[in-house]
Amino acid sequence: MSAESLKAISPVDGRYFEKVKELSTYFSEYALIKYRIRVEIEYLIALAEGPLNDRIGDIQSKKNHLRAVYENFSLENASRVKAIESEINHDVKAVEYFIKEKLEELGLSQNKEFVHFGLTSQDINNTSIPVSIKDCLDQVIYPELQTLIDKLKELSKKWKDVTMLARTHGQAASPTNLGKEFAVFIERIEVQFDNLKSIENRVKFGGATGNFNAHHVAFPEVNWPEFGNTFAENYLGLKRSQFTTQIEHYDQLAALFDNFSRINTILIDLDRDVWQYISMGYFTQKVNKGEVGSSAMPHKVNPIDFENSEGNLGIANSAFNHLSSKLPISRLQRDLTDSTVLRNIGVPMAHSLLAWKSLKKGLDKIEINRENISADLEANWAVVAEAIQTILRRENYPNPYESLKDLTRGSKEINKKTIHRFIDTLNVSEEIKEELKKINPENYSGVYPDF
């Protein structure tokens, strides 16, 4: 680790930075400046290609050079913006002045006053941040989540022939299938993943209080709401909210964060189940010769990846929950509480990404212990009581549930001999007795769709 990383306050910028550094492309101060510049420049180009073509049409001849300003944006450029900000004490206005400097360099100084024309800071913030989120989702988050789903599918298919004892309320219950239990999580995650991808990225773009006041007074002949819609969709790939105050109402963004929280909650459930299966001896973990499991107990191979994942998912959800509950609330037409909160979007994204990678790493290391799984089934013959009493119900046998209840409840040992001895006492045909004796904990695992 670098000296700078060792002094970082947040672990995602220090200890864990190498595992989440790709997010700095979207959520760092550098990234925010770059995305603001991208929106400002695309807006200028849209004006030149649209309603103000007769005024600033010459912008079009240099639009590739203009786009290169954000496409080739450097740390040196970001430092220049911050230097301007330190003089004027306004972050978005600093971006405007930086772009004006670039227009002078490109011989377009006559168009400088159309940079940020008619806009307020939130027209830039409430477009640049959604664009950065969209890019991050498409380029990092969605692929990483799909990688995790693919790993779960691999394990589910690998273990589709493994019957194991289920547990409800912590007690032995009707056997299930290990592959199917992983399929449960796959289905849950995929449903929420589809929901996540269906949430529209909406933006506010409409001037100081959302009504294009300045735009309209300067050029009343232009249909500015229509232009705003076209700009948001065609130049930024987003949907524009039609009625806003000075800021975006953030309802869609809140829905996005809530959906992330649901996915993470499902993964916490998975982390804890796998952790428990390791504790029960159903899973073993591949040993890395150089690793140490405990500073005191040499034998230990801790399920640290699942614990790390669970912890980071919890931190992520705490932040997501605050973002989704705070952002949609703003006093009257504008207050500034959203500004500092929005700068923290990368934090829960980073903890989520870190958690998903830890979970994937843990899943790569686990192997099943068929011997322990089979032994647990053999030690719990009482679970076939459900099967026996159900067949007896089919045959209209009197009080089958009560008979099996008396047999199986309590501290007495229930094994194959106990069950078969009971079957022999039943007043049913030999054919039915043979049917009942074929049932065992290994084959009583039900039926389910292919996975």
Tens of pLDDT, residues 121-164: 999 999 999 999 999 999 999 999 999 999 999 999 999 999 99
Cα 135 from chain centroid?
14
Angle at 382 between CA 378 and CA 388, to 5 degrees: 115
Contact 189, 263 (CB under 8 A): yes
Tokens of 236: 């930024």
DSSP structure string for 207-231: STTSS-HHHHHH-TTS-HHHHHHHI
pLDDT score recorded for residue 322? 97
Q: How far apart are CA 286 and CA 306, in angstroms?
A: 14
26 touches 133 (CB < 8 A): yes
CA distance 164 to 181: 10
C-alpha separations of 282 from 186, 270, 276 in Å: 20, 15, 9
How high is the pLDDT of residue 103?
97
| In the predicted structure, residue 95 carries a pLDDT above the cut 60 | yes
Q: What are phi and psi of 120, to 5 degrees?
A: -115, 170
| Pairing of β 239-240 and β 202-203 | parallel
In this prediction, residue 115 carries a pLDDT of: 98
Distance CA 236, CA 239 (A): 9
Average pLDDT over residues 254-279: 98
pLDDT of residue 406: 84
pLDDT greater than 50 at residue 298: no
pLDDT at 358 over 80: yes
Instruction: Supply the angle between the helices 400-408 and 385-394 in degrees, to the nearest 10.
Output: 160
**Tokens at residue 120, please?**
């307020």
The pLDDT of 299-326, averaged and rounded, is 93
The total number of residues shown for the chain amounts to 451
Q: Are 445 and 176 in contact (CB under 8 A)?
A: yes
Sign of CA dihedral 117, 121, 124, 127: negative
Classify the C-alpha dihedral 58-60-62-65 as positive or negative: positive
Q: How confident is the model at residue 297 (pLDDT cuts 50, 70, 90)?
A: very low
Q: For residue 408, what pLDDT is reported?
A: 82
- The reported pTM is 0.93
Percent of the chain topping pLDDT 90: 90
Query: How many whole angstroms from its chain centre is CA 212?
Result: 35
**What distances in angstroms separate CA 155 from CA 184, 329, 374, one per listed residue?**
12, 43, 19
Q: Which residues are catalytic?
A: 169, 294
**Cα distance between residue 111 and residue 104, in whole Å:** 9
